[in-house]
Amino acid sequence: MSKIVVLQQLTESQKQKVQEAAPSYEIVAVPVREASDSILAEAEIILGWSRKLQDFILSDKCPVQWIQTWSAGVDKMPMEQLEQKQVLLTSANGVHTIPISEQIFAYMLAFSRNLHRAVRNQGKHAWDESGTFTELHGKTIVIVGVGNIGAGTAQLAKAFGMKTIGVRRSGKEQDGIDQMYSMEQLDEALAQGDYVINILPLTEETKQLFNRERFAVMKDSSLFINVGRGPSVDTDALVEALQSGAIAGAGLDVFDPEPLPEDHPLWDMEQVIITPHIAGSNEHYTDRVIEIFTKNLQAYQQDRTLPVNLVDYSRQY
């Protein structure tokens, strides 16, 4: 019997959903720490990933044909080796749409209502009414990397009465986006943003895309939010932009390096909100990954192209 190895602990209900989608397969759900070469030696399909198991999975001893990652990002996957092995790769892209778009607005609302300073003053028992208070209504949000999360963010932005500008590789229009730009027009888009949101995946093209030149074209009143990938930002350039006043502040969930070192200057900047790479976390995560996986699983058994989040190795996402 062919085997599906799930590198997570599933509830009985979740395991049953996978079994119902693939009745002819044996389902083995095991946490990464308990996974072994012997379990993976018969795995045709793997749901999840671990660097700890990478060498065996990439070897001739593992018969894997398809890997469905547990994460939306695939930049840490050994894509060149997987492509050489002719392994299908799908991501969990889309599972984060609601929590990350809501986190983006948590940053924006905190900045607009000065909540980040209020929380710090609360810790000091300080009654301080100073500060600048604004509203999101009428402001311009620039969403760089309009995929599922970007589209969800745009919908929320429209509900707040904001002008929405999007940037994506194709330049293709998207519901909820007032004006779409291609990546070649990035600087033109950035110059208009009151809030600039980075949701880009990490590829060779996007590595340190947000550098000194990019921060220089933004408004000095703009706020930069990064929920994409840490290495897509030149961290030193970001620090300089914040220190010089080239931009007004930043809400950051991802970093380069990560975890952010304890002595890093970003920690002590009053105009910065830091969260520890948790923007996509919520109580529905596993159920949403299983939903993506079972849709792909049905297509896989019928020898059809996997319909959800099939990674294009040439694009690296």
User: Over the stretch 14-36, which tens digit does the pLDDT of each residue have?
Assistant: 999 999 999 999 999 999 999 99
Catalytic residue among 113, 169, 212, 277: 277
Model confidence at 95, in pLDDT bands (50, 70, 90)?
Answer: very high
Q: Which domains does the chain have, with CATH numbers?
A: 3-94+283-301 (3.40.50.720), 97-274 (3.40.50.720)
Q: Is 304 a catalytic residue?
A: no
Expressed in percent and rounded to 5, the helix, strand and coil fractions of the chain are 35, 15, 50
Q: Is 116 a catalytic residue?
A: no
pLDDT at 31: 92
Mean pLDDT of the chain: 96
Catalytic residue among 96, 116, 214, 229: 229
Strand order in the sheet with 26-29: 26-29, 3-6, 43-47, 66-68, 88-90
Catalytic residue among 258, 284, 304, 315: 258
CA distance 62 to 249: 48
pLDDT at 149: 96
Q: What is the pLDDT of residues 240-268, one digit of tens each?
A: 999 999 999 999 999 999 999 999 999 99
CA distance 7 to 298: 20
Strand order in the sheet with 249-252: 179-181, 163-167, 140-144, 195-198, 223-226, 249-252, 272-274
Q: Is 26 a catalytic residue?
A: no
Q: What is the pLDDT of residues 104-153, one digit of tens each?
A: 999 999 999 999 999 999 999 999 999 899 999 999 999 999 999 999 99
pLDDT at 14: 96
271: pLDDT strictly greater than 90 = yes
Residue range 199-208: mean pLDDT, rounded? 95
Beta-strand relationship, 66-68 and 163-167? unpaired
pLDDT at 316: 87
79: pLDDT strictly greater than 80 = yes
pLDDT at 41: 95
CA distance 84 to 67: 14
- pTM exceeds 0.85, yes or no: yes
**Contact criterion met (CB below 8 Å) for 29 and 15:** yes
Which percentage of the chain shows pLDDT scores above 90? 97
